[in-house]
Amino acid sequence: MIIALALAMAQTAFAGNDRSVSSTVSETPPQFDFTLETAYLFGAINPPANYQISANFLTARVRWGDYLDREGFFRGYNQVYLSLLAEPIIRGIENHYFGMNLGLRYNFVRSGSRLIPYFSGGLGLGFIDSQPERFGGQGQDFTFNVLSAAGLSYQFSDRFSGQLGVLYQHLSNAGQTDPNPSLNLFGPQVGFTFSF
C-alpha cells in the first residue's frame, strides 16, 4: 500500500508545473539537515531465519552542489549524509545492530512544489551481537552495511519536512567468516527533517 501511494504521489511530483500545488517555501535548498528516520524492515533471501528489524537513524546531511538552474527531470541538488544506526532485531537470531553509514542523496526539485522525490545510497560499518554457533547466525560481530532508499519528501515549511519512502539494507561481514549468511532487508521508512 505504501509503495502504491508513493507511486501515485510521484506522478504528481514529476508532472511539471501544477498550479494546484502551491509553494510558500523557499526555492533555495537547505545547507544542512538533521533527520530522525525509522523503518520496519522485513528479511528477504535470508536462510534460514525470517528477520524483522526496527531500523532507527539519526542523519545529518550537508548540501553539496545543486542543479536548480536546469529544467526537467534532473533539476535538484546533492547532499552528503552521515547516519547513526540503532536497530533492535524484532525477529531473527541476533538481538541488535549498531552502526554508521556514509552516503549521497539526490533531491529532484520541481519548481513551485512542496513534494521532493529523492534517492539515496551509502556504505557503512557496524556491530551485531552475532551468534555464529547457531545455524544461520551472523559469523562475527563486525559487519559492513549498504543502505539504499527512495521516496518523497514534503516541505511543511522552510525548516521542517516529512518523508515517506522505501528502504533496502544489506548487512554482511564481506566473507571474513565462513559461512557468511548476510541479511537483505526491505521495508517502509518515514522521517522528519529539520533544516537550517
Among left, alpha and beta (phi > 0; psi -120 to 50; other), residue 90 is alpha
Among left, alpha and beta (phi > 0; psi -120 to 50; other), residue 72 is left
pLDDT the model gives residue 10:
45
Using the predicted structure, report yes or no on whether residue 7 has a pLDDT greater than 90. Answer: no
pTM for this model (two decimals): 0.82
Q: Which positions ≥6 away from 28 have C-beta within 8 Å?
A: none
Q: Which of 171, 160, 172, 164 shows the shortest CA–CA distance to 189?
A: 164
pLDDT in tens, 143-158: 999 999 999 999 999 8
pLDDT the model gives residue 48:
66
pLDDT in tens, 104-133: 999 999 888 899 999 999 999 999 998 888
Q: Which cell numbers in the block locate residue 184?
A: 537483505
β partners of residue 79: 63, 105
Domain 2-13+34-157+166-195, architecture per CATH: Beta Barrel (2.40)
Find the mean pLDDT for residues 41-66: 88
The model's confidence at residue 87, banded by pLDDT at 50, 70 and 90, is: very high
